[in-house]
Every structure is written in structure tokens, then in C-alpha cells.
Chain A
């Protein structure tokens, strides 16, 4: 990875600042991108990376600062703010973290969208198809142009996002957390593509919170922390520990898992079948056992059935056949039955499934226990008891908030997750299902979640951890299983598993020993 210090600057951000109300997302950020280089924008969740890129691409307008892009002749000209149209015209393309694709349209239609003037009466699909074909050959990215996007796998969708951008002649690519949804092998494939693009003269900004990948792919790295840029240096001569400390601002102590002998099986799934829909796989003959005092991990790329598994375990999806057994007794699949049986569930998407935004923290805490004595008497809510209870939880879990009666939507992601954890653990569950529990959380909040899951495990709770973050799985779990195309592999002890092996299994290219 050679740094190219004398390549011309193609993109220059100066003094970018952006606030959302009281939250300062970006402050006085300067950034230069040179032709042919891969610049990594490194920072933990919430550091301001995505905001900066959204400003670059015109989704947001910066409060302060300016952006200049190199024109045809190489001279830097100002970029109009707040206009994706202007960014695209200036040769900037963005591959979004949450794909910006219309699912019911085809690949070709998504590529062509917006590329011809709206008043023209012809789509010229034939011409577009030819151009796309040439592009696919050049870049090495391949997808069937007539396939409906809803039927594409996650890796294919990402390829489509990149092709869309290349189709518009982008010379500057910004990729926002592109590897979050890829297997290790797919990540390698992506890096091959990126290097090829760079060799063809493109310049790339690679946004990530994953140190390993940044070190593997980037020429230079800019580190964001708390909205500010704290470092900007060539990768050569920089080591992981230094970058980690720059990212977080302090020494990070890894969570320690002590080997323990697990107890008897707590929760058992037998031969679970769920039918798939919209071209996504269902679940076939899924069986697993979660032992008390262990953390069982489920690895897998999203779309392979993890959400369905979480739904079955959480009671929101009723399997077509198969049974769920808790401590030897069969369990009826419904969220209410799960809650009452002492199964704690941390949902995948806290905004969508976890909390009700306009209700207060106290009310959200009470939601799972609306029939319990602590919350109601004769059907009437006991407000004082609810508030006291919430204040205890806020103290115990260190939730930063305006108060127990404040609407929960005011809280940051990390603090919302703390409330959810409080709600889960207050019922002293015997089983805990954690579905992507640290997604979108910064390192501090993530470490907190890890600590609580490990503590629960040490207390004898049976924990199931579904996660896309393989490092998290390897650090926390006692056993790991892989979910591919609706089938679950046999769990393997974590000592017998490597990242590479997990990756191969996730891609369906290897079996558990």
C-alpha cells in the first residue's frame, strides 16, 4: 500500500461543521483526498463519519465549511451544497450503508433511474444494458440486469450500488461501512474490486469502524472522534493499538471471558420449519440447544434466516412445524408467553421493535409487564411505583436522560439500549436472546452490553447471541453455529473456530467438522 503524496488533490473539505439541535455531529473537519488513493475514514459509531459523507453527497447541508472538487482540468471548484444531483455531476458517488435501492424494480431499472432527463420519452433500456454490460466487464462486478432487486443477496445488492455509481461516471467513490454485511471472503473480493478501481484512476473514501479492514485496504487514514478529526496520517508506520486509542480516546480493555463448564440445556428448538417469502429463505429443520451458563453465538449474513430465527425465539413468528421447549416444557409461540416464561429478548432494531418513542422511559419499562403488580392494580396504572422503578433502572444502568418521564425518543441509541437491557434483566430471565445487541452503538456502549451479557452468563443464564460482528462472537461466545440459507450448522466450541472458517461456512463453502 504505497502512499502517493504527490498525486493531485481531487477533493477538499474545509472546516465542515454540522449540528442537529444540541448534538454536534461534525466540527471543523478538514479532509483532502488525492487521486488514486484509498482514504479510510475511521471512527466508532456516532463519531460523525456518516454525517460527513452525507454532507459530501448532498443529503445534508453543512452549517459551516466548504467542499471543492477537481473538475475536468484538475482545478478545484466549489461544490453546490445540499444537492445529490450536483455531487453526481461532479463525479462523486456514494455507496450507502443502507442500500438506496427500489426493491420491486429490476437491476437495470435501478441503474437507469435518474440518468435520463425526466421530460424525455424514452428509457433507452437497450443502450443502458449495453453500457452496463461493458461496465461489468471492466470492473469485474457481475449481476443479472433483469433480476428483481428484492431477489438479490446482500453481496449482490452492494455490487449493484457500486455499479450504479460507476455507471454515472463517478471518479470519487465514498463507501459507507461496506463490509458490515459481508462474509470475510466477500470482504476480500470487495478489496480486489476497490484496488482495481483505484488502479483505473478512481479515488476512494472508505468509511469504517473496523480497524482490521482499514489497515488491510487503506493508503491513508483519517480518524474521527466525537465529531472532530483527531488524526490524519499514512497507514505505513501506524499500528492497531495506536489507531484504536485514537478512535476511542483512551486505552480499551478487551472484555474477558473466563472458560466455564456450562449447565444443562435450558431452551431447545426441534425441527423448526418456517416458510420463506419474497425470495428469501425460510428456516428448514433448525435445531439448537442453549445451555445454562453459556453464550451460544449464531453467525451469518443478514437474509439467511437469522431474523426468522429471532422471530421464532421471540414469539413473533409462528413456525409451520417444530417445537420450542423450555426446561422440558413445550412453549407456545407468542411474545406474551415468552415474556411470562422468563425469556428476555433484545430486539434487532431498537427503534422499530424495541421502544415506543413518544412514551416515557417509565412507560417503556412497564410495557412488558402490564399485567404485573408493580405496574397496575385492578387495571389502573400505579404511576408512583412505575416512576420509582424507572429511577432505579436509570441509576443502575447509568442511563443519560432528562428524567424517568422524558419521552424515550430523546435518548441516544446507547442509552435506549440500556433501557431495553434494564427491561430484559429486571425480570431475572433464565434465557436471554440478544439479536445484534451492539449494532450502531459506540465502543463504550458496546462494552457495557458485552459486560452484562457475560455477567448474565456467569450467573447461569442461557444466552443466545445473534450477530454480524464475527469478532464480537469470537470474543463472547462459548459455542458458535452458522446460519446459511435457512439451515443452522451444528454448534462448534469457540476454540475450534477461526474467522476464516466462519467466513467459509457463512458462504456455504465448508461444513462444520
Chain B
């Protein structure tokens, strides 16, 4: 007979080991679809590792891909801590990108040290405003924010398409629905010559640290954790639950908005409707693998990014569809979810 006994404390070794084990499990399970695609399994994983980190350029590609994932991962981590399930990072990201383009591609003329912060602030605001609606609906009316944020993602994407075919369309874009490029003054500088790694990565690191301090070391962070675990008790103790939730929602949306700004002003240079390859949803996986810890989001995002970049390379070489990456990431989420049981319970046999 198998018995589950609640643990009284969780050793650090387990706290790090279990999520890693879960991700490893996901990779192992992904051997099945790989085999079905006729790919030699060990070689496939080797190619993935090579594609993700096998050269300086590969590493920078991984870090570049990790940048938006750190932001959306933080957005999810911060919100989920308060049990506010923000699944709308995808839309908030695009909102932020649109705002960045509105300001940065000729809308405002200013030197770099003004334009760059302005772009970031506007993008953060756009994301925050977008999340404000669902958050308020949740605290005031009890409307499930998962459904509202999900539905809004579709709305935002349509809106962006509309803008890109209309007022935001680049007259010199050869007829494609894309925005005018961000001015040089507004672009985030590249960190390493001949790579695509840009300052957005550094911003993401800073955001992580700030989020960590906020959650773990401030009174506000304690309030967030209390509200997330037991809203009734937090409210009873005098914590203003509504205010905390709204602040968390706004912060979460802002972080996702920054992801959009970072992609548009640092990597792509202009906005298209297919800029994000599910970064918002991947952010949820990043956050869960990191057990909602802001600092752990950094390695988690790098790992997930590595899977995407590595799968691209492997897929091109072996002819495997790169949806394998999405598959691995989805499996990682499910495995991490189940692995949480090992952290909460001790398993006894006999």
C-alpha cells in the first residue's frame, strides 16, 4: 500500500532537485514523439543541447529568447502568488509592443536616454491597463480571471492586426502588415557584437531581482503571499485584499508589457502580428518550473528558451517539426505540477 504523509519541512535539496527531475522526466517522455518522427533519440537530444548552448552564438540566441520569457515568467509568478491567474500575458505583451511602437517609431522625438525609458514606461502601462479590467472584475464581481484574460488575448491580437493593417502600417514596408521600425534612439543596444543579445536581457535580470525583493522582503510581499494562500484570513487581519490584488494585477500586466517592448525595441525592431511564439503561455510554464520564485525564473526561462532554440536546430537537421518544443514545454508543465506532490508529501510504501 502506498501512503502519503504531509511533510513538515522541505529540504533545499528537494526544492531544487524535484523541479529539475520533473523537467528531465518531460524530456524523457518526449523521446516517444521523437521516435515516432523517426529521429534517432540520443542524437536528437545532443543536437538540441548543441543548438541551445553549443557555441557562443547559440548561447546568446538562447539568452535572447529567454529575455521575453523572463518577463512573462515574472508576470505569471507574481500574479500566481496572489492566486490571480493571469493567463493574458500574451495579449499584454502585444499591448506593450504596440505602445512601444506608437511612441518609438516616430511618434516622439527625443534623445536615447529619454526615449528608451519612455518606451518602457508606456509599454508597462499598456500591459498594466489591460490587466486592470480582469483584475477588477475578479475582486469586485468574482468573475474568473482565467477566462477573461484568455478571451482578451484574442481581442488584443485582432486589435494589433487591425492597427498593423491600418494606422500603424509601415508605408515603406513593402505592403506587409508590419509597423514602422523603432528609431535608433529608442532601440535597446546590442550587448555583444555580431549577436542578437540585447539590453532587454539585463532589464529582465533587474526586473527579477526587484520582483524577488518585493515578494520576499517587503510588507507588501507578505500581504501578497497571505492573500494568495488564504484570502479570508488576510482580509480578517486587516489587509486590504482589493488593493493588494489590483496592485499585483497591474504589476503582472506591466511585466508582460515590458516583454513586448523588449522584443520590439531590442530584437525585432518593428512589430508584426506573429512576433510572439506563445511567449505569454510559455511564461506560465517558466513560472511553474521556478515554483513561482522570481529569482528562479531566470534559470527556468533560460532552460525553456534553450528547448525552443535547440528544437529549432534539431528540427531543421533531422526534419522534425519544431512543434516538438511546444510539446516538451507542455509536458514540462504537467510534470512539474505532479512533482509538487513530492514536495508536499513523503511517500511511504508498505
Direct contact of A and B (CB under 8 A): yes
Are A347 and B236 in contact, with the CB atoms below 8 A?
Answer: yes
Are A356 and B218 in contact, with the CB atoms below 8 A?
Answer: no
In the assembled complex, A284 has its CB within 8 A of some CB on chain B: no
Are A353 and B232 in contact, with the CB atoms below 8 A?
Answer: yes
Per a CB cutoff under 8 Å, which of B9, B218, B233 touches A381?
A: B218
In the assembled complex, A314 has its CB within 8 A of some CB on chain B: yes
* Stretch from B167-175, B221-229, B249-257 that touches the partner: B221-229
Q: Which of B1-27 contact A (CB under 8 A)?
A: 5-6, 8-9
Per a CB cutoff under 8 Å, which of A368, A376, A402 touches B218?
A: A376
> Contacts A352-B233, A355-B233, A359-B229 hold; do A371 and B219 have CB atoms under 8 A apart?
yes
Determine the main DSSP class of B at the interface with A. helix
Q: Which of A354-373 contact B (CB under 8 A)?
A: 354-359, 363, 366-368, 370-371
From A367, which residue of chain B is reached at the shortest CB distance?
A: B237
Are A336 and B240 in contact, with the CB atoms below 8 A?
Answer: yes
- A-side contacts of B232, CB under 8 Å: 352-353
Closest chain-B Cβ to A296's Cβ sits at a distance in Å of 21
Closest chain-A Cβ to B246's Cβ sits at a distance in Å of 16
In the assembled complex, B49 has its CB within 8 A of some CB on chain A: no
Are B217 and A353 in contact, with the CB atoms below 8 A?
Answer: no
Count of A residues near B, CB < 8 Å? 34
Q: How far is the CA of A367 from the CA of B227 in the complex (A)?
A: 11
From A22, which residue of chain B is reached at the shortest CB distance?
A: B8
Q: How far is the CA of A21 from the CA of B345 in the complex (A)?
A: 11
Closest chain-A Cβ to B142's Cβ sits at a distance in Å of 14
Are A366 and B229 in contact, with the CB atoms below 8 A?
Answer: no
In the assembled complex, B238 has its CB within 8 A of some CB on chain A: yes
In the assembled complex, A286 has its CB within 8 A of some CB on chain B: no
In the assembled complex, B321 has its CB within 8 A of some CB on chain A: no
> Contacts A21-B6, A381-B219 hold; do A316 and B226 have CB atoms under 8 A apart?
no
In the assembled complex, A339 has its CB within 8 A of some CB on chain B: yes
In the assembled complex, B136 has its CB within 8 A of some CB on chain A: no
In the assembled complex, B109 has its CB within 8 A of some CB on chain A: no
From A378, which residue of chain B is reached at the shortest CB distance?
A: B218
Q: How far is the CA of A315 from the CA of B5 in the complex (A)?
A: 38
Q: Which of B188-242 contact A (CB under 8 A)?
A: 217-223, 225-226, 229-230, 232-240
- A-side contacts of B229, CB under 8 Å: 356-359
> Contacts A354-B233, A376-B219 hold; do A339 and B238 have CB atoms under 8 A apart?
yes
> Contacts A356-B229, A402-B8, A410-B8 hold; do A345 and B236 have CB atoms under 8 A apart?
yes
Are B237 and A339 in contact, with the CB atoms below 8 A?
Answer: yes
Are A353 and B233 in contact, with the CB atoms below 8 A?
Answer: yes
Per a CB cutoff under 8 Å, which of A336, A347, A352, A356 touches B238?
A: A336
Q: Which of A196-215 contact B (CB under 8 A)?
A: none
Q: How far is the CA of A300 from the CA of B231 in the complex (A)?
A: 28
In the assembled complex, A117 has its CB within 8 A of some CB on chain B: no
Per a CB cutoff under 8 Å, which of A334, A345, A370, A410 touches B223?
A: A370
Are B233 and A370 in contact, with the CB atoms below 8 A?
Answer: no
Are B236 and A356 in contact, with the CB atoms below 8 A?
Answer: no
Output the residue of A334, A335, A402, A410 with the most chain B CB within 10 A.
A335
Are B226 and A359 in contact, with the CB atoms below 8 A?
Answer: yes
Closest chain-A Cβ to B341's Cβ sits at a distance in Å of 16
Are A21 and B219 in contact, with the CB atoms below 8 A?
Answer: no
Are B8 and A367 in contact, with the CB atoms below 8 A?
Answer: no
Q: How far is the CA of A200 from the CA of B14 in the complex (A)?
A: 59
Closest chain-A Cβ to B220's Cβ sits at a distance in Å of 7
What 1/0 flags go to A276-297 for Cβ under 8 Å of B? 0000000000000000000000
What 1/0 flags go to B237-276 for Cβ under 8 Å of A? 1111000000000000000000000000000000000000
Are B219 and A356 in contact, with the CB atoms below 8 A?
Answer: no
Per a CB cutoff under 8 Å, which of B5, B222, B235 touches A366?
A: B222
Closest chain-B Cβ to A180's Cβ sits at a distance in Å of 23
Per a CB cutoff under 8 Å, which of B5, B6, B239 touches A370?
A: B239
Q: Which of A1-48 contact B (CB under 8 A)?
A: 21
- B-side contacts of A127, CB under 8 Å: none
Q: How far is the CA of A316 from the CA of B222 in the complex (A)?
A: 21
Per a CB cutoff under 8 Å, which of B6, B220, B239 touches A379?
A: B220
- B-side contacts of A338, CB under 8 Å: 238
Are B238 and A379 in contact, with the CB atoms below 8 A?
Answer: no
- A-side contacts of B237, CB under 8 Å: 335, 339, 367-368
> Contacts A336-B240, A368-B238 hold; do A356 and B233 have CB atoms under 8 A apart?
yes
Per a CB cutoff under 8 Å, which of A316, A340, A358, A371 touches B235?
A: A316
Per a CB cutoff under 8 Å, which of A21, A316, A355, A380 touches B5?
A: A21
In the assembled complex, A70 has its CB within 8 A of some CB on chain B: no
- A-side contacts of B238, CB under 8 Å: 315, 334-336, 338-340, 367-368, 370
Q: How far is the CA of A375 from the CA of B222 in the complex (A)?
A: 11
Q: How far is the CA of A355 from the CA of B233 in the complex (A)?
A: 6
> Contacts A359-B229, A367-B226, A410-B8 hold; do A353 and B220 have CB atoms under 8 A apart?
no
Are B217 and A370 in contact, with the CB atoms below 8 A?
Answer: no
Closest chain-B Cβ to A393's Cβ sits at a distance in Å of 15
From A354, which residue of chain B is reached at the shortest CB distance?
A: B233
Closest chain-A Cβ to B231's Cβ sits at a distance in Å of 9
Q: Which of A372-420 contact B (CB under 8 A)?
A: 375-376, 379-381, 402, 406, 410
Are A314 and B234 in contact, with the CB atoms below 8 A?
Answer: no
Closest chain-A Cβ to B6's Cβ sits at a distance in Å of 7
Closest chain-B Cβ to A420's Cβ sits at a distance in Å of 10
From B232, which residue of chain A is reached at the shortest CB distance?
A: A353
- B-side contacts of A339, CB under 8 Å: 237-238
Q: How far is the CA of A381 from the CA of B223 in the complex (A)?
A: 11
Q: Which of A150-190 contact B (CB under 8 A)?
A: none
- B-side contacts of A21, CB under 8 Å: 5-6
- A-side contacts of B5, CB under 8 Å: 21
Per a CB cutoff under 8 Å, which of B218, B223, B235 touches A335?
A: B235
Per a CB cutoff under 8 Å, which of B8, B9, B225 touches A359?
A: B225
Q: How far is the CA of A375 from the CA of B232 in the complex (A)?
A: 21
> Contacts A356-B230, A358-B229, A381-B217 hold; do A363 and B236 have CB atoms under 8 A apart?
no
- A-side contacts of B236, CB under 8 Å: 314, 316, 335, 345, 347, 353-354
What 1/0 flags go to B95-131 for Cβ under 8 Å of A? 0000000000000000000000000000000000000
- A-side contacts of B235, CB under 8 Å: 316, 335
- A-side contacts of B6, CB under 8 Å: 21
From B223, which residue of chain A is reached at the shortest CB distance?
A: A370
- A-side contacts of B219, CB under 8 Å: 370-371, 375-376, 379-381
Are B230 and A357 in contact, with the CB atoms below 8 A?
Answer: yes
Closest chain-B Cβ to A504's Cβ sits at a distance in Å of 34
Q: How far is the CA of A370 from the CA of B223 in the complex (A)?
A: 8
Output the residue of B9, B236, B239 with the most chain A CB within 10 A.
B236
Closest chain-A Cβ to B227's Cβ sits at a distance in Å of 9
- A-side contacts of B220, CB under 8 Å: 379
Q: How far is the CA of A163 from the CA of B314 in the complex (A)?
A: 68
Apart from the given pairs A356-B225, A359-B222, A379-B219, 14 other A-B contacts in the complex at a CB distance below 8 Å: A21-B6, A335-B236, A335-B237, A336-B240, A340-B238, A353-B232, A355-B230, A355-B233, A356-B234, A357-B230, A363-B222, A370-B223, A370-B238, A381-B218
Instruction: Name 16 interchain pairs, CB-CB below 8 A, sorted by A.
Output: A315-B238, A316-B236, A339-B238, A340-B238, A352-B230, A352-B232, A353-B233, A355-B230, A355-B233, A356-B225, A356-B234, A359-B229, A363-B222, A367-B233, A376-B219, A381-B217
Closest 10 CB pairs of A and B: A367-B237, A336-B238, A339-B238, A376-B219, A370-B219, A335-B238, A356-B230, A353-B236, A368-B237, A356-B226
Report which A residues bind B (CB closer than 8 A). 21, 314-316, 334-336, 338-340, 345, 347, 352-359, 363, 366-368, 370-371, 375-376, 379-381, 402, 406, 410
